[in-house]
Amino acid sequence: MSELAAQVRGLSKRYPPREAGAPAQALFDSLDLDVAQGEFVAVEGRSGTGKSTLLHILGGLDRAFEGEVRVFGRALRSLADDELSALRHQQLGFVFQSFNLLPSLSALDNVLLPDAFGRGVPDASRRAQEALERVGLLGKAKARPAALSGGERQRVAIARALLVRPPLLLADEPTGNLDAATGVGVISLFRELHAGGMTLLIVTHEARVSHAASRVLVLREGKLTPGEEGT
């Protein structure tokens, strides 16, 4: 068995009750997950089942959980805030449904955003140009997000996630705000990244994304269960 990129054991997360005296709402109930390095895992689930929360926990953005979560062997609960920042900076890439680009920066500067933190990114300018070229947007490097289409913005967001060449890419509904044709292009890009050896964990409710994955899991009632296999 290859080394695990992510390992989750007994993950539980509860939200405070909406009314005083009511029981806490459980989102996950002793959830387990293993993601091997080089895998392309899709997590399906209806809205509100906790897909985004699972991604935030794996990315060290949400620390309010019970259980054990390891990313590349490092237990997230034991890491200090700055160590989590360093982990996100060096080993994780995020892609969000709503792109999450900074409107005041150009496409190129958005891609270069991780270079502003930690020890920066070696050869960042060249890497940013390469990342934009890879997503087919080198010609729009100076454009602000407002001047880009939804698909172009998502490709800029993917280029940003690729700048540090992270071994694990976490994507939250990456095609959720895209039309069908544009979504296909993004999925194709994920396939390329997977073929290049990158580990991908994508949460989605779209079957076309799941079909591109090597393994599909379904998040239902706080548990992960195997779903219909992808490619």
User: Applying CB under 8 A, which residues contact other proteins?
Assistant: 52-53, 56, 59, 61-62, 81-82, 85-86, 88-90, 94, 96, 100-105, 109, 113-118, 120, 160, 164
Select 51 or 210, whichever has its Cβ closest to other proteins.
51
Least distance in angstroms from the C-beta of 104 to other proteins: 4
Least distance in angstroms from the C-beta of 231 to other proteins: 28
Select 118 or 136, whichever has its Cβ closest to other proteins.
118
Select 110 or 204, whichever has its Cβ closest to other proteins.
110
Select 98 or 149, whichever has its Cβ closest to other proteins.
98
The dihedrals phi and psi of 88, each to the nearest 5 degrees, come to -65, -40
Least distance in angstroms from the C-beta of 108 to other proteins: 11
Residue 129 gets the label, from left (phi > 0), alpha (psi -120 to 50) or beta, of alpha
The dihedrals phi and psi of 214, each to the nearest 5 degrees, come to -85, -20
210 touches 230 (CB < 8 A): yes
Residue 117 tokens read as 């933190």
Least distance in angstroms from the C-beta of 180 to other proteins: 26
21 touches 3 (CB < 8 A): no
Cross-strand pairs, 168: 92, 199
